[in-house]
Amino acid sequence: MEQIYFIINPKAGNGSCLKIWKRLEPELKNKNISYLAFFTEYQGHATSIAATIATRDHEKKILIAVGGDGTMHEVMNGMVKYKNIILGFIPGGSGNDFCRGFQIPSEPAEALEVIFRLMNKEAASIDIGDITMQDQAKYYFINNMGAGFDALISYEVNQSRMKVLLNKLSMGRLIYSYFLLKKLFTYKCSTIDLSIDGKKHIFEHTWFVTVSNQPYYGGGMKIAPGSVPDDGIFDITVVHQLSRLKLLVVFISVFWGKHIHFKEVKTFKGSFVSIQTNSPLYVHADGEFIGYTPLTIYLHSKALKVLTRRQSKEDANLKERGSNDLN
């Protein structure tokens, strides 16, 4: 059996992640599972721990991130180049978009059970995106990335002390709405020069552009309803030429994925994207601030092995055919 490593962000979910880990650890001991656990001590630490584990030797390993989407993002960035690692996730944060998109239970004990079950099976191969910034720095994303208004909001949310307060009151999702309203009336839209697989598009008065590998972001918003994480293509969403008031209506409709029906919301598919702007825009990858535009994005098809309950399209088709054959 592969060696199992856990990387735990004790501060995720405003500290509730540490309590989650304390509840899960006895379960591992009961099952006689041998594991090594590492705790993050600062921002970015999960990336360096994951890279150290990945390069320790060439043995196959299972690396499980315990935390929020930010922890998953950091762990993935540390191990993504090493093919001997299978990635798993136990939710301990506040957003849980990775769970939604990859069909992982939001209850941590259930997520651990799923990991136990999946460990003996073939892990799913998932697409990932790499972002190259102007200074050639590289960041990978597994959920999505965004440039513009949405990245500014996620930057403000992550910096804010209100997140702690609202999470304590179990109203964490309200924080996005709070900053959206706060920034809505002062945000300056810009012209975005977008290139998708070599085809150029110019969008004026643009609020934001997102590139998605799975449908969910921002704590349950269905920004890219048709996105599939192993289909070799990204779903790109552009919101532009929208009045401030109408943006609010679009924002509400995103929770049901209905925003795509507005004429001001444009959707595309592609695997090589470049985003150029007339002034630098905030950029996030999996909800973590990474810098400013311009940038380029490249899709690596099925580049990451992940323990997830989601079936690939091919598996689902095979199963369907199999059950039909029986009739």
Ligand X SMILES: Nc1ncnc2c1ncn2[C@@H]1O[C@H](COP(=O)(O)OP(=O)(O)OP(=O)(O)O)[C@@H](O)[C@H]1O
| Binding of ligand X by 95 (CB under 6 A) | yes
Give whichever of 78 and 229 is closer to ligand X, judged by the CB atom: 78
- Of the candidate spans 36-44, 50-58, 182-190, 224-232, the one that interacts with ligand X by CB under 6 A turns out to be 36-44
- Taking the complex as a whole, the smallest distance from the CB of residue 81 to ligand X amounts, in Å, to 20
Residue 39 in tokens: 């705790």
- Taking the complex as a whole, the smallest distance from the CB of residue 89 to ligand X amounts, in Å, to 10
d(CA 204, CA 192): 6
Give whichever of 44 and 226 is closer to ligand X, judged by the CB atom: 44
Give whichever of 34 and 170 is closer to ligand X, judged by the CB atom: 170
Instruction: Give residue number: closest CB to ligand X.
Output: 68
User: Binding string, 62-91, against ligand X, x = CB under 6 A?
Assistant: -----xxxxx--x-----------------
d(CA 182, CA 174): 12
- Taking the complex as a whole, the smallest distance from the CB of residue 147 to ligand X amounts, in Å, to 18
| Binding of ligand X by 293 (CB under 6 A) | no
Identify whether the C-beta of residue 308 lies closer than 8 Å to the C-beta of residue 170.
Answer: no
Identify whether the C-beta of residue 211 lies closer than 8 Å to the C-beta of residue 129.
Answer: yes
CA 210 to chain centre: 12
**Contacting residue, 11, 61, 240, 259, with ligand X by CB under 6 A:** 11
Identify whether the C-beta of residue 290 lies closer than 8 Å to the C-beta of residue 284.
Answer: yes
Give whichever of 203 and 216 is closer to ligand X, judged by the CB atom: 216
Residue 120 in tokens: 């003996």
Give me the amino acid identity at 257: G
- Taking the complex as a whole, the smallest distance from the CB of residue 289 to ligand X amounts, in Å, to 9
Residues in 166-225 that interact with ligand X by CB under 6 A? none
| Binding of ligand X by 291 (CB under 6 A) | no
- Taking the complex as a whole, the smallest distance from the CB of residue 76 to ligand X amounts, in Å, to 12
Identify whether the C-beta of residue 69 lies closer than 8 Å to the C-beta of residue 99.
Answer: no
| Binding of ligand X by 94 (CB under 6 A) | yes
CA 220 to chain centre: 11
Phi–psi pair at 292, nearest 5 degrees: -135, 160
| Binding of ligand X by 154 (CB under 6 A) | no
Phi–psi pair at 191, nearest 5 degrees: -85, 130
- Of the candidate spans 34-42, 75-83, 203-211, 263-271, the one that interacts with ligand X by CB under 6 A turns out to be 34-42
- By rule CB under 6 A, what count of residues binds ligand X? 23
Give whichever of 160 and 312 is closer to ligand X, judged by the CB atom: 160
Number of other residues whose CB lies within 10 A of the CB of residue 185: 7
- Taking the complex as a whole, the smallest distance from the CB of residue 7 to ligand X amounts, in Å, to 10
Identify whether the C-beta of residue 219 lies closer than 8 Å to the C-beta of residue 172.
Answer: yes
| Binding of ligand X by 288 (CB under 6 A) | yes
Identify whether the C-beta of residue 213 lies closer than 8 Å to the C-beta of residue 143.
Answer: yes
Residue 71's alpha-carbon distances to 49, 68, 229, in angstroms, are 11, 5, 19
Identify whether the C-beta of residue 13 lies closer than 8 Å to the C-beta of residue 166.
Answer: no
- Taking the complex as a whole, the smallest distance from the CB of residue 98 to ligand X amounts, in Å, to 8
Interface ranges with ligand X (CB under 6 A):
9-13, 40-45, 67-71, 74, 93-96, 287-288
